[in-house]
Structure 1
Amino acid sequence: MTAFPGSPRLLKGGIVLVHPVSGVVQRVIPLQYNPDTLTRSLQIKGVGPEGGDRSEALRLKGPPVESFKLEAEIDATDQLAEANRQATQVGLHPILAALEILVYPSSATLQANHAAASAGSLEILAAEATLTVFVFGPKRIAPVRLTEFSVTEEAFDTSLNPIRAKISLGMRVLSVDDVGFNDRSGGLFMSYLRAKEQMAAAYQAGSLGALGISGI
């Protein structure tokens, strides 16, 4: 069935995995259904503790710590109705695994670290993960680190493969304070910040009269 030609194209939010050095896109994980809500919080980085030097009261020492939290649903019902081979064999395991491995070091890295430790190496470097970018429309593209991931599997097929689930994702935006200006993540953050500034500049400010006052 052909969609009505005048209907708007529905954009999907999702996660893009990018090589941290080359910038090559390695994988795109779109959300099957966009979440109903997206919770954002900003922890302001002021200068000094509360009650500190009065001359520092209005200063900011860096970008706030911004966090996202969302819950999204995934469902294999339509694929099962269409007898999709992957869905009938393993249900939602592939998409769940693709999200879960974002918070795991690779098995190859674990094996290499174990071998190095067994050989007497005194320093084992933590694995560098693939750059994770959260995309929620063209105005919101931010480098993030996953801080929370949980899954509620709600229905299963006869082989106990999950066929309906809810995922909860917590993410922390990586700012230049975290990664620096020269890192690819830093460049993405600066673009993200500039997009915010452009939206703020487009806002049509009100008047003091609307607040019931004539001056401050």
Structure 2
Amino acid sequence: MGFPGSPRLLRAGLVVVDSSTLAIQRSIALQYNPDSLSRSLAVRGATGDSGDRLDALRLTGPPVETLKLDAELDATDELETPSKFPDTVRLGLHPQLAALETLIYPSSAQIQSDNTLAMAGTIEIAPMEAPLVLFVWSTSRVVPVRITEFSITEEAFDVNLNPIRAKVSLGMRVLSTNDLNFDHKGNHIFLAYQQNKERLAGKVGSVSLRSLGITGIAS
């Protein structure tokens, strides 16, 4: 048991919600918070290739933000108390890995339904919209994402070859107003994320020009 006066540790994770109602379908907490989170922002701006100098300062939308992290999974502690965790004894980390992997699969029911429609002579089948995935890293960072990279390294196994230690690498792209219709629920979540950034930026005071080594801006 941890020291009773220690702060409660928040865990990063993913929440799967209905894209129309935001009803929660599943929440997945990372067993251990990653040691690092890599973020990259690519500017969306007018290129000015047409020769219009006015384009140099124009932004065409929010930047393309990508996130990368490595998460570790370890069943060792649960295997030390097998009576409390019979599924772990029987299956190892398979359930935890499957919960993450199925985020990038269409459901088997959808695949079967699409095949039935194709066999019935339907000319074109529009893919069904998948549930919306939210990446949660504290209350300040809740963003709609699409998983773009996924790799798993299984590092240890039990006697039945169930993985009991693994590392998952996730790459995600934040879905912004350029990716979703304006009235999409995911777009509302993204705008709240951006507005929070603006509020945080407003807490940083402006430094004096002298601290930058200048006294004014030449006109």
If the TM-score is normalised by the length of the shorter chain, which range does it land in? over 0.9
How far off is 1:48 after superposition?
A: 3.0
Alignment-derived partner of residue 146 in structure 1? 147
**TM-score, normalising length: structure 1:** 0.96
Amino acid paired to 2:128:
A
Which residues in structure 2 correspond to 1:40-55 (within 5 Å)? 40-49=39-48, 52-55=51-54
Aligned residues: CA RMSD:
1.2
* 3-state SS in 1 of match to 2:117: helix
Which residues in structure 2 correspond to 1:157-168 (within 5 Å)? 157-168=158-169
Amino acid paired to 1:144:
V
CA distance in 2, matches of 1:50, 1:163: 54
Alignment-derived partner of residue 98 in structure 1? 99
* 3-state SS in 1 of match to 2:193: helix
Alignment-derived partner of residue 199 in structure 2? 198
CA distance in 2, matches of 1:73, 1:51: 48
Amino acid paired to 1:136:
W
CA distance in 2, matches of 1:175, 1:185: 8
**TM-score, normalising length: structure 2:** 0.95
Alignment-derived partner of residue 171 in structure 1? 172
Query: Structure 2 stretches of 5 or more lacking a match?
Result: none
How far off is 1:82 after superposition?
A: 1.4
CA distance in 1, matches of 2:109, 2:76: 34
How far off is 1:50 after superposition?
A: 5.0
- Report Cα offsets for 1:153-190 as digits up to 9, x if no partner: 00000000000000000111111111122110011011
Which residues in structure 2 correspond to 1:76-155 (within 5 Å)? 76-83=75-82, 84-155=85-156
Tell me how many residue pairs correspond in the alignment.
Answer: 215
Alignment-derived partner of residue 64 in structure 1? 63
CA distance in 2, matches of 1:51, 1:10: 52
Amino acid paired to 1:164:
R
Q: Percent identity?
A: 54
Query: Structure 1 stretches of 5 or more lacking a match?
Result: none
CA distance in 2, matches of 1:96, 1:52: 51
